[in-house]
Structure 1
Amino acid sequence: MKKFSKPTSEAELEARVKALAGQTLAQLALNIHWTVPDNLKRDKGWIGQLIEVHLGASAGNLSEPDFQNLGIELKTIPLTAQHKAKETTYVCVTPLLNNIGLSWEDSCVFHKLSRVLWLPIEADPAIAIAERRVGKGFIWSPSEQQMDELQRDWEEFMELISLGQVESITAHMGESLQIRPKAANSSVVTTGIGENGLRKQTLPRGFYLRTSFTNRILQAIVQS
């Protein structure tokens, strides 16, 4: 597989992003001798991995931003035919233990979302996976209002978790963020805190950005 070095500056990263715009997933896969999957349900992370390789992302599954040296996180946005976010955007794993004293500024969500490279990808089911094109990416940081929204949601969720009420959290809660189970199936469990303060087995959770939040970001870019 062809290797791409990590970008050494934001300008270099932006140049690589610009070069990807308009290319199909088949073209990108051919560059690194990958096979385009027939079904993304079995290869849900394939597109993200394809883009990571071409842009030289280095963090992998770490809790740090994908471009560690630049402090920039990569997020692909699957778009509908109406150019809206097709699904929520995964941010990071929700910590269910050892949260006492954890501040917003020290959280994984804060570090992942402080500086983000958004890369739109066609996701209309009418377009074959191989023929879907990469859109125009852009680098974004939350406005003061957006950061306040994210912090407020995060703090409310973390308070519930620390009080042993993780099971009470539903996908309907949160203005910009939501917490949902993140596991291949219900047999995958992790350790959390129950209402009695004792450790218990529960489903792993993840933080996700709501589509309403990402659509506001997209709309602001279109209007700028």
Structure 2
Amino acid sequence: MGSSGGAREPEASKRREYSDVGRAPYELRQFGGGGGRFRVYPSVVFSFALVSPPASEAELLGRARSLAGHPLGAIAERHAVPLADVSRSKGWIGKLLEISLGATASSRGEPDFQLLGVELKTVPVDLEGRPKESTFVCSAPLETMGELSWERSPVREKLARVLWVPIEATPEVPVPYRRIGMPLLWSPSPEEEVTLKRDWDELSERVGKGHVEEITAHIGCHLQLRPKGANARSARWGVNEEGDPIRTLPRAFYLRASFVREVLARGYAPSGRSP
């Protein structure tokens, strides 16, 4: 059937152009034209084009920089990854970046890029480049945590070398059109590691003494320990004050948004240490 209003304007062309993003510290580039429609699926079964693992940090960083400025939908189409309803498929953005960059880790206990010892962390940011939420680091080994030193901890292993990738997270922009920001390779400075170690020591001591239920998100300067699981079915083993095993909600470590904001701000500054 015809339409008296003429050709319908493409959906992509009607959306607002977010020129303000260009002022963000990670320097998102503008879209390279195009547009079109992206079909969103409520759940995802990954069937994608394989990407070989990067052979060096330089190659990994080059791949990540080549994604900067592109919308998530375009990257998903390039690798034949169905678009997910992100509200129902938590972790979809991180998985998409892992696929497009050639991550190899099959276990959550290993860095995403095993050969390089690099962990990938995506960070949803606002128009000013500020993280909008805390960043998941890893699950907490409650049964053995009190016996682990900082040097042998999973937190230190995960944070030894991190590839930060900001992701535009403006609510008004549909997920397929949200852009990928400039990446940053980072390792904790000596001062940052001292504070992270202090946080780990305090939290692990409390867990080891059976006080896991008393730990709140207010404890820790950079590092938090918070519940990760909504009901009793996800319960894990921990220990009480007597050292006896108990069932408790699983916990995970998170970096505060304020700390990640400082990391990104320093890394993107003209004198930053990013490669």
> Same fold by TM (over 0.5)?
yes
Given the alignment, which residue of 199, 204, 210 partners 2:256? 210
Instruction: Provide structure 2 residue ranges, at least 5 long, that are not aligned to the other structure.
Output: 1-47, 271-275
CA distance in 2, matches of 1:223, 1:32: 32
Q: Which residue of structure 1 aligns with residue 216 of structure 2?
A: 170
Instruction: Provide structure 1 residue ranges, at least 5 long, that are not aligned to the other structure.
Output: none
Given the alignment, which residue of 121, 125, 129 partners 1:79? 125
CA distance in 2, matches of 1:202, 1:18: 42
What SS class does the counterpart of residue 84 from structure 1 fall into?
Answer: coil
Q: Which residue of structure 2 aligns with residue 6 of structure 1?
A: 53
CA distance in 1, matches of 2:168, 2:250: 29
1:22-37 matches, cutoff 5 A: 22-37=69-84
CA distance in 1, matches of 2:95, 2:239: 33
CA distance in 2, matches of 1:61, 1:4: 18
TM-score by length of 1: 0.96
> Which range is displaced more, 53-62 or 69-78?
53-62
Identity, in percent, stands at 46
Task: State the Cα deviation string for residues 77-118 of structure 1 (Å, max 9, x = none).
Answer: 100123110110000011111245421111100010011000
CA drift of 1:196 comes to 2.2
TM-score by length of 2: 0.79
Q: Which residue of structure 2 aligns with residue 142 of structure 1?
A: 188
CA distance in 1, matches of 2:222, 2:146: 23
Higher-Rg structure is 2
Does the CA-based 8 Å contact 2:111-2:119 persist in structure 1? Answer: yes
**Does 1:43 pair with 2:89?**
yes
What SS class does the counterpart of residue 80 from structure 2 fall into?
Answer: coil
Q: Which residue of structure 1 aligns with residue 241 of structure 2?
A: 195
What SS class does the counterpart of residue 207 from structure 2 fall into?
Answer: helix
What SS class does the counterpart of residue 156 from structure 2 fall into?
Answer: helix
Task: State the Cα deviation string for residues 152-183 of structure 1 (Å, max 9, x = none).
Answer: 00010000000000001001111000011112
CA drift of 1:62 comes to 2.6
CA RMSD of aligned residues (A): 1.2
CA drift of 1:33 comes to 1.6
